[in-house]
Amino acid sequence: MRVPDLIDIGRETIRLNTPECWIDVLAGIEATEPLLQDLDGVTPSFDQWLAGQRARFEDRVRSKLERELDRLVKENAPPQLRAAAARKLITFEPTHEGAVRTLMSAFVQIGDRGQAIREYERCRQALRSMLDLQPSKETVALFEAVRLLSTSQSTTQPRPALTGAVDDVVNGARTPERQVAARGAAYQPSIAVLPFRNLSGQETSDYAGDGLIEDLIEILARVPNLFVISRLSTLTFKAQNRLPQEIGSVLGVQYVLSGSMRVSGNRLRLTVELTDTLTGTALWSSRLDETAFDVLEVQYRLADAIVRRVAPYLHQAELQRSHSKRPDHLEAYDLFLRAQENMHNSSRDIFESSEGLFDKALALEPKYPAALAWRAYWHVLRVGQGWSNDTARDAAQAALFAQRAVECDALQPMALAVQGHIASYLHKNFDVAFRHFDTALRVNPNAAQAWLWSAAANAWIDNGKRAVEEVTRAISLSPFDPLMYAYSMIASIAYLVDDQCDRAVECALRSLSENSTYTSAHRILVISLMMSGHDLEARDAAVELLRLEPGLTVTGFLRRYPGSGSPHAARFGDALAKAGIPIA
C-alpha cells in the first residue's frame, strides 16, 4: 500500500517522514515502562535473558543520549540546547549526575540561578530515594558555586560561565559576611517556614501543624519587603533531617523558621526556632504549651510572637483581622488541607475526591475564606485538566465560590487571585482580571498564584516581557510547588510570546518531565519547537500530542485559547497546523 509523503526528497537529501509511520525502536525509546514488562516470571532462564536484554537496550539508549549531550557541550552550543539535551537524559535516568551538572551550568548561563539550585535538589532527592546515595563531590561543588553567586546580581542577565564563581569559592572570596555586605540597598529579607516535626506520631497532629504553618505564612507574607516562600514548596522538606544552611541554600532564603509539635494527653507543646541560614545561628526560640482543644488559639499566640520578632512592621490590626477570620473547628482545617493535597494529584479519581472534602469542610465552616477560594480554584483546574463534563457549570461554580470567599474576607489573596484567573482564563476579560490581580498583590506581595496567573494573562495579551518577569517571581516564591508543571508551562508561553523560542522549548520539556500527561505542555512544546525551527521534532511531538488528545484541531485550540484575540494566536495556530495538527 502506498503512503503519500512517506519519503521527503530534497535537492541533496532524502529523509523518512517519521510522523507518517510507526517505528518500534522509537516507540521503545519513548516508553516509560521496562522492555516486555508483562513477561516477567515465565521461567527463570527467560527472566535471566530478559534482564540482559533490558540492560542492553537501556545502555544503547543512554549512550545515544550521552553522545548527543557530549557533542553539544564540546561544540559549546547555546545553553538552551544543552539544557534540552540534558533534560532528555535526566528524564531517562534521573540519577545521571553528569547531565544534572550540565543542566545546572546551562541554567546559570541563561541567568536562572534559582532553577539550577532546584535541579540540584531534584537530583539529590532522586539519588537518595532510588540509590540511597548522596551527590558526588563534583555535583556538590557545582551546587556550592551556584549557591554562592551574589544574590545582588540580576538573575535575568545571562552569565558567560561559572568559572568566576568557582574561583571565588576556592579562594574564599564569598564568605557569609561578604555576601551580606554585597547585597546593598536592593536586599530583601527572606524566610521559609518549615513543616513542624510531629513528635507524637498522630496523623491528626500533622494536619493541625500544617494549619498553623499555613496561617503563619499568610500573616508573614503580608509584611512589606519580606519575601516568604510558599507552604506548598516547604512541604518538600517535611520529615527531612536537613541543616538550616542547606535548606536556606536550596530555597534561597536567609531565615528558616522550624519547630516541633508533641501531643500528650490533652496537652500540646510547640517548640519553634528562627535560624539565620548564612551563619547557622539560632536567632530566637520559644516553647508554647497549650491545651489540645485550644489548638486553634495557638496560631494567634504563635503568629503574634514570631511576627513581632521577625517583622516588626506588621500592624496589630492585621494580626487581629487574621485571628478573626480563622475557622473555629480543627476538623475543618483537617478537611481543607486534605482537599488541597488531593487537588495536586495527577490521578483524576483522587483529584475528584477533593470536592467532597471541601463540601465537608464548608459544612462545618460555611464562611471559611481559604476553603472557599481553593474550592473555586478546584473548578478552574478541573476545566484546565480537561476533566470537566460541563465546562459552563464549573465556570459558574468557580465564580460563585470565589465571590463567597471575597464576601467572607475582602482581603483574602487567594480568593482575589482566583477571581482574576477566572476572568482571564475562562472569560478572556483581562481588564477585570488585572484589577483582581493588582488587589491580591497589594494585600499579599508574596502570593505566588497571583503572580503566576497575572503572568499568564500578560502572555495572553502579548505582553511577553512582563509575563517573563512575573512568572520568574512566581517560581521563586514557590520553587517546589506540587503544580510546578503548570508554572513551567506558563513560563514556556511567556518566553514564546517574548520571542525566546529556545527557552520556551526548555520550559515545555521541564513541564513534561514533571507531568508527562499534561496536554497543555504538549501543545506548547509543539508550537515552540516549530517556531524555533525544529520542524522534525515538532512533528514528532505532534504525534504524541494527538495520541493524548485525539480530538484536537487548530480551530478548537484557537476557540478555547485565552489569548485568541492577540496577534501571536495566529502564529500559534500556524505552528500547530505545520506540525500536523488537523485544521478542523
Predicted pLDDT of residue 32: 46
Predicted pLDDT of residue 482: 79
Predicted pLDDT of residue 160: 39
Residue ranges for the chain with pLDDT beneath 50: 1, 11-12, 25-32, 150-187, 313-324
Distance between alpha carbon 506 and the CA centroid of its chain, in Å?
A: 14
Q: How far apart are CA 70 and CA 498, in angstroms?
A: 30
Q: What burial letters (b/e) apply to 135-168, b meaning 16+ CB within 10 Å?
A: beeebeebbebbbbbebeeebeeebeebeebbeb
Q: How far apart are CA 30 and CA 22, in angstroms?
A: 12
Model pLDDT for residues 533-568, shown as the tens digit of each residue: 999 999 999 999 999 888 899 999 999 899 999 999
Q: How far apart are CA 568 and CA 45, in angstroms?
A: 58
Q: Which domains does the chain have, with CATH numbers?
A: 7-36 (no CATH), 38-171 (1.25.40), 188-326 (3.40.50.10070), 327-445 (1.25.40.10), 463-584 (1.25.40.10)
Read off the pTM.
0.62
Model pLDDT for residues 66-111, shown as the tens digit of each residue: 888 888 888 888 888 888 889 888 888 888 888 999 998 888 888 7
Residue partners of 195: CB distance under 8 A and separation at least 6 = 209, 210, 213, 234, 235, 237, 238, 239
Helix 244-251 and helix 113-131: axis angle, to 10°? 130
Q: How far apart are CA 464 and CA 584, in angstroms?
A: 28
Distance between alpha carbon 178 and the CA centroid of its chain, in Å?
A: 31
